[in-house]
């Protein structure tokens, strides 16, 4: 075994171009959402292959606002959104904060994604949308989900928080439904430090989103003259009786804008996106292709022919036949310098915040299984194949010691 290495879970890239932009923004003293946010939105939309992208303050806000758009089309407080039982808790939180009731569906153990065969049974007369999650960057079965949505007249909102770089049948995650919600948190491939962004091909959805992120204002132009150049705006006083439309509020909104400094970090990351993605996929695939050696005690996901996994992290699941616990595995890895994260939990039955919905343990056996047995570790661009080899060697060493 080689000497101990440090394998941190995440990293953040702040390229020189971002630092230059940050300095320019600070010198200008205009740091609230403006021209750099708009430039970032344009670049992100181009990357995903959609017409519109609307930047917000977090990935959770991206999910909330994407769902809140549905209120414009007849959805009411307390209506239902179908989501997978297994995800980072932000998925369920977004549904609740958008004014809806989450209806949970179990997942498939091998993909970690929503079990499409169970969705129809969860649909009621109050269902308004399906929100699949591309967990760990592995695309959900979007064809199956979209067929069901069309059949029942439902919206589909992708939770693409971890799916930067993911492709489903050649199309990027975030372009496969009515709306897509991405996280731009520091562990993600494209980061703004904090932040999120919503993608859509609908100009109408994008206009509503720009209003929602700023308290529901009637002022929602794609590019704001006041924010970018402090020029006179001919639209500003066209409200009733000449009222300033910046203070006309058409809908219940949120305070979720991205600022210019965050956008500057994002612009630098987009510039280096291909390099970051290539490095991370090299790390991910190197491990996935060598992971069968740990069967039947440890498993992970596989990349199928019709997809490209977005290289967010490496999931590892302790299997039934193992004579060790997840805690023993994580403690061993952490002592060896390999940082770990729990692979989330069954939101309805393992997260007390959702207890009010009345679900009981045992209703989501696959999500609960992963919630008790899953972890994930990093594959980010500051790591290389040497670190990936160290991870594989450490797992092999662990099994030699702990598997009886």
Q: How far is CA 290 from CA 301, 392, 396, in A?
A: 12, 8, 11
Are 226 and 353 found together in one domain? no
**Could you say which residues of the chain have pLDDT below 70?**
1, 218-240, 242, 245
How far, in Å, CA of 60 to CA of 66, rounded? Answer: 10
Are 238 and 344 found together in one domain? no
- Domain membership of residue 8 (yes or no) is no
- Tens-place pLDDT, residues 15-34: 999 999 999 999 998 898 88
Confirm whether 188 is a catalytic residue. Answer: yes
Are 135 and 153 found together in one domain? yes
Are 153 and 266 found together in one domain? yes
Q: What phi, psi does 40 have (nearest 5°)?
A: -65, -45
Which phi-psi region, left, alpha or beta, contains residue 220 (left: φ > 0; alpha: ψ -120 to 50)? alpha
131 contacts 153 by C-beta, under 8 angstroms:
no
Q: Which domain holds residue 99?
A: 16-270
How many structural domains is the chain composed of? 2
Are 124 and 140 found together in one domain? yes
- Domain membership of residue 5 (yes or no) is no
Are 129 and 254 found together in one domain? yes
How far, in Å, CA of 392 to CA of 284, rounded? Answer: 12
How far, in Å, CA of 291 to CA of 314, rounded? Answer: 10
| Boundary residue ending a domain (221, 238, 270) | 270
Are 120 and 219 found together in one domain? yes
Are 177 and 63 found together in one domain? yes
Are 227 and 280 found together in one domain? no
What six digits make up the tokens of 139?
A: 């695309």
CATH, residue 23: 3.40.640.10
- Domain membership of residue 11 (yes or no) is no
CATH, residue 307: 3.90.1150.10
67 contacts 95 by C-beta, under 8 angstroms:
yes
pLDDT of residue 249: 78
Give me the helices (H) in 127-241, please. 142-152, 203-212, 225-229
| Boundary residue ending a domain (224, 246, 270) | 270
Exposure string for 297-313, b = 16+ CB within 10 A, e = fewer: bbbbbebeeebbbbbbb
pLDDT of residue 222: 65
- Tens-place pLDDT, residues 82-109: 999 999 999 999 999 999 999 999 999 9
- Domain membership of residue 145 (yes or no) is yes
Spot the catalytic one: 164, 188, 215, 376.
188
Are 146 and 214 found together in one domain? yes
pLDDT of residue 188: 95
Are 149 and 29 found together in one domain? yes
Give the number of C-alpha atoms closer than 13 A to the C-alpha of residue 375, restricted to the C-beta side: 21
**Whose CA is closest to 271, among 109, 67, 75, 40?**
40
- Domain membership of residue 208 (yes or no) is yes
- Domain membership of residue 30 (yes or no) is yes
pLDDT of residue 228: 57
pLDDT of residue 247: 75
- Domain membership of residue 340 (yes or no) is yes
The secondary structure of residue 278, as a DSSP letter, is: H
Are 299 and 196 found together in one domain? no
- Domain membership of residue 1 (yes or no) is no
| Boundary residue ending a domain (222, 253, 270) | 270
pTM summary value: 0.94
pLDDT of residue 1: 61
């Amino acid at each position: 075994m080689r000497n101990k290495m440090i394998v941190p879970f995440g990293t953040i890239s702040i390229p020189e171009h971002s630092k230059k932009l940050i300095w320019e923004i600070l010198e200008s003293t205009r740091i609230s959402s403006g021209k750099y946010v708009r430039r970032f939105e344009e670049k992100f939309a181009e990357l995903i292959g959609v017409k519109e992208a609307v930047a917000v303050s977090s990935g959770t806000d991206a999910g909330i606002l994407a769902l809140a758009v549905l209120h414009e089309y007849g959805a009411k407080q307390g209506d239902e959104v179908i989501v997978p039982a297994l995800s980072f808790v932000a998925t369920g939180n977004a549904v609740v904060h958008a004014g809806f009731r989450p209806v949970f569906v179990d997942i498939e153990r091998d993909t970690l994604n929503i079990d499409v065969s169970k969705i129809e049974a969860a649909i009621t007369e109050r269902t308004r949308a399906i929100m699949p999650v591309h967990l760990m960057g592995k695309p959900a079965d979007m064809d199956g989900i979209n067929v069901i949505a069309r059949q029942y007249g439902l919206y589909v909102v992708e939770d693409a928080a971890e799916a930067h770089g993911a492709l489903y049948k050649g199309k990027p995650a975030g372009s496969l439904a009515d709306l897509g919600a991405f996280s731009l948190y520091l562990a993600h491939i494209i980061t703004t430090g904090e932040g999120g962004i919503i993608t859509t091909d609908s100009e109408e959805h994008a206009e509503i989103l720009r209003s929602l992120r700023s308290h529901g204002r009637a002022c929602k132009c794609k590019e704001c003259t006041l924010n970018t150049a402090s020029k006179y705006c001919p639209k500003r006083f066209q409200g009733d009786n000449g009222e300033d439309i910046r203070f006309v509020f058409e809908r219940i909104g949120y305070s979720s804008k991205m600022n210019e400094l965050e956008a500057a970090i994002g612009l630098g990351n987009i510039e280096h996106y291909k390099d970051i993605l290539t490095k991370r996929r090299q790390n991910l695939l190197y491990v996935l292709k060598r992971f069968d050696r740990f069967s039947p005690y440890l498993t992970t996901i596989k990349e199928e022919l019709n997809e490209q996994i977005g290289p967010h992290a490496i999931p590892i699941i302790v299997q039934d036949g193992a004579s060790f616990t997840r805690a023993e595995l994580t403690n061993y890895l952490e002592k060896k310098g390999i940082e770990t994260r729990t692979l989330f939990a069954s939101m309805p039955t393992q997260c007390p915040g959702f207890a009010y919905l009345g679900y009981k343990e045992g209703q989501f056996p696959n999500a609960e299984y992963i919630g008790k047995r899953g972890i994930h570790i990093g594959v980010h661009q500051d790591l290389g194949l040497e670190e990936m080899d160290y991870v594989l060697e450490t797992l092999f060493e662990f099994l030699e010691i702990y598997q009886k």
